[in-house]
Amino acid sequence: MDNRNNVTVFILLGLSQNKNIEILYFVLFLLCYIVIWVGNLLIMISITCSPLVDQPMYFFLNCLSLSDLCYTSTVVPKLMTDLLAERKTISYNNCMTQLFILHFLGGIEIFILTGMAYDRYVAICKPLHYIIIMSRQKCYRIIIACCTGAFVHSASQFLLIIFLPFCGPNEIDHYFCDVYPLLELACTDTYGIGLLVVVNSGLIALVTFVILMASYFMILYAIRTSPAEGRAKALSTCSSHITVVVLFFVPALFIYIRPATTFPEDKVLALFYTIIAPMFNPLIYTLRNMEMKNALRKVWCQKLCLTGSQVI
């Protein structure tokens, strides 16, 4: 325990050591963060203020948008602050807190995407029983299960790391605290813990990804004989969901499914599931979804009309 306390502060090496490039990254990530907030808030307000809030798919989309906002806010503000700082540091306690919250919110996102896939499977493959199966109580239970599963996943990751001794190097070759970079700094043999991390993170991500893709392929197989209009709507919905799944899962699988080693490319790949996927989620779900576009128009046109009438 005393050895562990020898390191009270970690140094984050970040994405670059070049100050000009860091300023460029700061502007780029600031714009991305603004897009994430504006896009996800638009979705949440539009769904909440429209009849779509009663539909299970949009209930889950609302939860996904909230999860995206919280998830990116765990990483991006610290990243932008460090890009302008001379010395990028994070305390031991804050590092462990970031690790826990990041995996907790990431787990919620993964499981919500699974819930959305289940919802689409029931809607398309069992339409006559959809209202009964996907009741609001069932939706609440799914979200509770997502949070519970994410907590178990994150707590187990946290417990694997919190008892490791950190007594030597304190430079983390990343822009946030994650499991594999921390394992490399531990003053003990971490081979067994690395295998547990693969099972906890990599295997969960792989199994979830396979289940998600299998469910969407089953949906696509089921709609092959449907009328053209219904098939086009189902294809549009499923393609947007598959795009989000691929953006989030493929980089995460590359990082977590292998043994406990780190590569320079990991930092770039991590940008996909910490910034890029949450930024594109609102665009993917609105541009490919006529119901969302109609809801956006109705809600915001009404608000503009009300504002205009009050001014007059």
Task: Give the 3-state secondary structure of residue 12.
Answer: strand
pLDDT (mean) for 162-187: 89
Helix H or strand E segment including 90: strand 89-91
The mean-pLDDT minimum among 21-35, 110-124, 296-310 falls in 296-310
pLDDT (mean) for 58-70: 93
What the block records as the tokens of 250 is 């493929």
Count of alpha carbons within 13 angstroms of residue 242, beta-carbon side: 15
Q: What is the pTM of this model?
A: 0.88
What pLDDT score was predicted for residue 3?
A: 46
* Arithmetic mean of pLDDT over the chain: 86
Q: What is the pLDDT of residues 74-127, one digit of tens each?
A: 999 999 999 998 889 999 999 999 999 999 999 999 999 899 889 988 988 888
Which residues neighbour 17 within 8 Å (Cβ) at sequence distance 6 or greater? none
Residue by residue, DSSP assigns 205-229 as: HHHHHHHHHHHHHHHHHHGGGS-HH
Among 38, 113, 21, 114, smallest CA distance to 72 is for 38
Residue by residue, DSSP assigns 81-117 as: HHHH-SS-EEEHHHHHHHHHHHHHHHHHHHHHHHHHH
Q: What is the pLDDT of residues 216-264, one digit of tens each?
A: 888 888 777 777 766 777 777 777 778 888 888 999 998 888 877 778 7
| 201 to 110, 158, 179, 180: CA distances (angstroms) | 11, 12, 10, 11
Q: How confident is the model at residue 26 (pLDDT cuts 50, 70, 90)?
A: very high
Class of CATH domain 9-307: mainly alpha
pLDDT at 309 over 80: no
Distance between CA 139 and CA 116 in Å, rounded?
Answer: 10
Sorted by where each begins, the domain ranges of the chain are 9-307
pLDDT at 163 over 60: yes
Q: Which residues pair with 11 in a beta bridge?
A: 89, 171
- Contact yes or no for 206/292 (Cβ under 8 A): no
Q: How confident is the model at residue 300 (pLDDT cuts 50, 70, 90)?
A: low
Reading phi first (left if > 0) and then psi (alpha if -120 to 50, else beta), residue 93 is in alpha
